[in-house]
Amino acid sequence: MSSHPRKIALPSTATLLHLQQNIETLSSSLLHPTDPPQVQTQVQQFLDTLFGYALPNVEINGVTPKKLPKEGDEDEENFEDYDYELNEKVMKVQAEVEKETERVTKLRREGPGKVVAGVKTNLESALASDLAALPTFDTEMDDLFDEETPEEKEAWEKVLKSLDLLKDGLPAAASRVMGANDALDVVARPKKI
């Protein structure tokens, strides 16, 4: 807990003036009309001293007033002294906020394109490695329909084995391509603001 007591917060000097006038009016009403004027003067001096001691414990819009308001001071506002160091800190923080805003804007603008390019590169390299793993065929289709020699029969068996491998590998490659297309659609879709 703070070592200083909490101050009385008021919205304006008019409120403090209103409180001061109400207390003065109440004290005047309690005086007897036959009392000498010195009594009223002493009561007024006492109230001025009382409000003078209370003034450091009052805040008007977050600022401690330097003097008691008078009848014509209602429109005059109390302002805090200008703090150059605080102003410099505020300017630095505003510059940092602006810099971070620009950085976030740049990331929002360029980020999806970089993600798409990275996914595309990864997919192309995965597809290239999948295609490199498949065996190559040296025989032409016309040679397959002629009479088979033992070499052709062996080549035909290699082709069938390669097709079996291809048949096993195609669903995985197709699944990767479909997943990549889905990811590309999500990343490249324009965002609604």
Is 90 exceeded by the pLDDT of residue 15?
A: no
What's the rounded mean pLDDT across residues 131-156?
64
Q: Which residue has the higher pLDDT, 176 or 114?
A: 114
Q: Are 50 and 27 in contact (CB under 8 A)?
A: no
SS3 133: helix
In this prediction, residue 42 carries a pLDDT of 92
pLDDT digits (tens, 9 = 90+) for 102-115: 999 998 888 888 88
**Helices in the chain by DSSP H: which ranges?**
13-30, 37-54, 84-133, 141-144, 150-188
User: Residue 112 region, left (φ>0) first, then alpha (ψ -120 to 50), else beta?
Assistant: alpha
Maximum separation of any 2 CA atoms in the chain, in Å: 144
Ranges of each domain in the chain: 1-81, 85-188
- For residue 52 the two structure tokens come to 């003078």
The pTM (predicted TM-score) of the whole model is 0.36
Average pLDDT, the chain: 79
For CA atoms 180, 181, 186, 189, give the dihedral sign. Answer: positive
pLDDT of residue 193: 58
pLDDT tens profile 31-89: 888 888 888 899 999 998 998 898 888 888 778 888 877 776 544 455 566 778 888 99
Residues 81, 85, 88, CA angle at the centre, nearest 5°?
115
Q: Is 153 or 42 the better-scoring residue by pLDDT?
A: 42
Distance from C-alpha of 160 to C-alpha of 135, rounded to nearest angstrom? 11
Give the per-residue pLDDT at 93: 94
Q: Please give the residue that has the higher pLDDT: either 168 or 34.
A: 34
* Residues sharing a CB contact under 8 Å with residue 110, sequence separation 6 or more, in sequence order: none
| Percentage, residues of the chain above pLDDT 90 | 13
pLDDT at 170: 72
Average confidence (pLDDT) over 174-178: 77
